[in-house]
Amino acid sequence: MARPRQLKGTLQDLHTTQLLHLINLAKKTGTLRLYEGVPTGREITMGDGETKRPELQPGAERARVAFREGKLIHARLTSQSDHLATVLHKAGKLNDEQHRIILSKAAHASDKALALLLINANYVSQADIIQSVQRYTLEVVYDIATWTKEPFIFEEGEQPPPDKITVPIDLENVIIEMIRRDSRDKMLLEALPNLDFALRFPESPAEKFAKVKVQLSVEEWRVVSFINGKNTIRQIARACNMTEMGIRQIVYGLLSAGLVELVKPAAPEAPKRRPSQITANMPQRPVINKLIDRIRSL
């Protein structure tokens, strides 16, 4: 029997940016639901076997974010209406009076049907609708990015109702913007404890940068201009006259978006130690083959 494709956890263990990174890289299709955390009254032990914290279970749903093939397509907060009229009103495409009338006369119309009506009545254009939905979706996601402890469930394959208007949004820029907005030092220190790593571009960087139409800030471009596989993050920070936390924030954003990769420095003693240590500890090939044969036969 096929296992239900769910990923469960809490934002205490995986930050929203990490989840989006996973969804982006794995090109996942599905819906991420975030819940109020309800204490079970028990404690869970962390991986170090010592630290404990209250166990939370999913309570009322707080938000829902949908993805298709690694792209963000829809998001809503349970506490807010995501009716198209309200989305357009928030974006300034409908005035208060238009909003009120539409809600009173077409409260139950589907978003797609309402969109057609509004376009045909020349209230708004198709571009207005797409921009407004995109803006609303991003606002919801940036709001969720500030949450820190909510339980989540990612349900693979689940999509928004067919009457909802979905706008595909590349996650790379969303992740970078989330990191820009999230300057929590602790997370950055944890994610990038060592500034002595160099940075390099992944394979075919030009294609990657062009494909996702990356919109980098001036400071981010300055950092990118120093990336050559040899300059360490610390050296780049000095060259760009940036603080350690400043460079961490930028590099973490670029890493999370998959636009750069870390090059770990060769430990001074490790490469030299490697052959001798392995030779010293490691038996000859026939011994390893004996181990393989024996384990196969168990």
Q: Binding string to another protein for residues 188 to 227, with x set by CB under 8 A, is what?
A: --x-------------------------------------
Determine the size of the site formed for another protein (CB under 8 A): 50
Residue type, 208: K
Query: Given the complex with another protein, which of 47 and 161 has the nearer CB atom?
Result: 47
In whole angstroms, how close is the CB of 8 to another protein at the nearest point? 6
CB 154 within 8 A of CB 23: yes
CB 259 within 8 A of CB 209: yes
Q: Binding string to another protein for residues 7 to 26, with x set by CB under 8 A, is what?
A: xxxx-xxx---x--xx--xx
Contact with another protein (CB under 8 A) among 27, 38, 46, 229:
46
In whole angstroms, how close is the CB of 190 to another protein at the nearest point? 8
- Give burial (CB, 10 Å; 0-12/13-18/19+) of 241: exposed
**Residues contacting residue 19 through CB under 8 Å, at least 6 positions apart:** 32, 152, 154
Contact with another protein (CB under 8 A) among 101, 113, 239, 292:
292
Q: Does residue number 296 form part of the binding site for another protein (CB under 8 A)?
A: yes
Residue owning tokens 């349900």: 155
Query: Given the complex with another protein, which of 189 and 270 has the nearer CB atom?
Result: 270
Q: Which window, 111-119, 135-143, 225-233, 266-274, contacts another protein (CB under 8 A)?
A: 266-274
Say how many CA atoms lie within 13 Å of 221 toward its Cβ: 6
Q: Which window, 110-118, 139-147, 205-213, 267-275, contacts another protein (CB under 8 A)?
A: 267-275
The Cα-based distances of 3 to 6, 155, 156 in angstroms read 9, 12, 11
**Distance (Å, rounded) from C-alpha 109 to C-alpha 205?**
45
Name which of 115, 118, 122, 117 is nearest 166 in CA terms: 115
Query: Given the complex with another protein, which of 43 and 163 has the nearer CB atom?
Result: 43
Q: Does residue number 268 form part of the binding site for another protein (CB under 8 A)?
A: no
CB 71 within 8 A of CB 170: yes
Q: Does residue number 263 form part of the binding site for another protein (CB under 8 A)?
A: no
The Cα-based distances of 250 to 13, 123, 155, 179 in angstroms read 22, 41, 31, 8
In whole angstroms, how close is the CB of 152 to another protein at the nearest point? 10
Contact with another protein (CB under 8 A) among 27, 39, 43, 207:
43
* Three-class secondary structure of residue 155 per DSSP: strand
Q: Does residue number 3 form part of the binding site for another protein (CB under 8 A)?
A: yes
Instruction: Give the binding site for another protein (CB under 8 A).
Output: 3-10, 12-14, 18, 21-22, 25-26, 42-50, 52-53, 55, 190, 267, 270, 273-274, 277-278, 280-283, 285, 287-292, 294-296, 298
